[in-house]
């Protein structure tokens, strides 16, 4: 069975019309069973905090491939290995071990909360000591129709940075922000080392100036809200 029936993160979510436009993703929220444990994992493994990836407790059912991956783009192979090693030490599982290829070096892990992370670089050789620094955080949405989803997001204000027909689209992103991209769902699942089947919640919420709405593949966007203060 394919992913037919995979829905948004909350029961009764609806598509809302909007006339506002957005130029970027303001925030990415992962919906997890244990927000405190997930926060410890992301801080320990990747050095991420709530300014980069937000977390929200959620018990909505989900199974199989959730239809998206997050990627850390780094400058050299040593950083790939350092980040993957830290993730595994913190409790992640390997989906694809780090390996070199014609395009560079990369590997895929699954966090304890179920989110799939790819760590990759286009470089083939190290140019300095390995660190856990990364250059870009990329959100890849697996979609059924790349061209249709591209039109949908362009109409809401995103600007195309790179496009490869009906296979892959990458949107422009300001430095330090999350870069959104679109990929065929089955191709994205294969790249992640998982079957493409999946049902239930995506366990992902995006925020932007054009929210709230749901895209053609059921990914939910909310209106941007300030990050809650922590004590």
Query: Which tens digit of pLDDT belongs to each residue from 184-202?
Result: 999 999 999 999 999 999 9
- Residue 17 in domain: no
In a domain, 101, yes or no: yes
Q: What is the pLDDT of residues 165-178, one digit of tens each?
A: 899 999 999 888 89
For residue 106, the domain's CATH number is 3.10.180.10
Which structural domain, as residue segments, surrounds residue 177?
27-47+54-223
Q: Residue 11's pLDDT is what?
A: 40
Classify residue 228: in a domain, yes or no: no
The region of weakest confidence among 59-68, 97-106, 194-203, 207-216 is 207-216
H helical segments located in 47-112:
77-89
- Answer whether residue 14 is part of any domain: no
Per-residue pLDDT tens for 207-225? 988 879 999 999 999 988 7
Q: Which of 20-34, 49-63, 67-81 has the highest mean pLDDT?
A: 67-81
pLDDT at 40: 97
pLDDT, the chain, mean: 90
Q: Is residue 4 domain-resident? A: no
- What percentage of the chain has pLDDT greater than the value 90? 77
Is residue 21 situated within a structural domain?
Answer: no
Residue 2 lies in a domain: no
Q: Does residue 61 carry a pLDDT above 80?
A: yes
Number of domains in the chain: 1
Q: Is residue 22 part of a domain?
A: no
Other Cβ atoms within 10 Å of 93 Cβ, number: 10
C-alpha–C-alpha distance, residues 115 and 120, integer Å: 16
Asked if pLDDT for residue 108 goes beyond 90, the answer is yes
Query: What does the CA dihedral 11, 177, 81, 45 come to, rounded to 10 degrees?
Result: -60
Predicted local distance difference test score (pLDDT) of residue 70: 98
Beta bridge partners of 73: 120, 136
User: Which stretch of 21-25, 28-32, 91-95, 102-106 has the lowest confidence by average pLDDT?
Assistant: 21-25
Average pLDDT for residues 149-177, to the nearest whole number?
94
Could you give the 3-state DSSP secondary structure of residue 44? helix
Cβ atoms within 10 Å, residue 209: 16
39: tokens are 């926060």
Residue 4's pLDDT is what?
A: 39
pTM for this prediction: 0.89
- Residue 227: which pLDDT band, with cuts at 50, 70 and 90? low
């Amino acid at each position: 069975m394919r992913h037919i029936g995979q829905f948004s993160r909350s029961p009764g979510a609806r598509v809302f019309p909007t006339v506002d436009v957005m130029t970027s993703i303001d925030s990415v929220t992962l919906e997890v069973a244990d927000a405190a444990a997930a926060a410890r994992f992301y801080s320990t493994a990747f050095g991420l905090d709530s300014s980069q990836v937000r977390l929200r407790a959620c018990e909505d059912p989900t199974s199989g491939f959730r239809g998206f991956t997050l990627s850390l783009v780094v400058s050299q192979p040593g950083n790939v290995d350092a980040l993957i090693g830290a993730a595994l030490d913190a409790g992640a599982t390997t989906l694809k071990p780090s390996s070199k290829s014609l395009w560079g070096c990369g590997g895929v892990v699954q966090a304890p909360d179920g989110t799939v992370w790819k760590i990759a670089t286009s470089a083939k050789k190290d140019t300095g000591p390995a660190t856990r620094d990364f250059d870009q955080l990329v959100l890849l949405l697996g979609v059924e129709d790349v061209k249709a989803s591209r039109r949908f997001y362009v109409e809401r204000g995103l600007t195309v940075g790179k496009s490869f027909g009906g296979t892959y689209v990458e949107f422009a992103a300001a430095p330090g922000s999350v870069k959104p991209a679109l990929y065929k769902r089955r191709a994205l699942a294969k790249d992640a080392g998982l079957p493409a089947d999946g049902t239930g919640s995506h366990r992902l919420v995006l925020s932007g100036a054009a929210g709230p709405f749901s895209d053609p593949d059921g990914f939910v966007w909310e209106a941007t809200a300030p990050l809650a203060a922590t004590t």
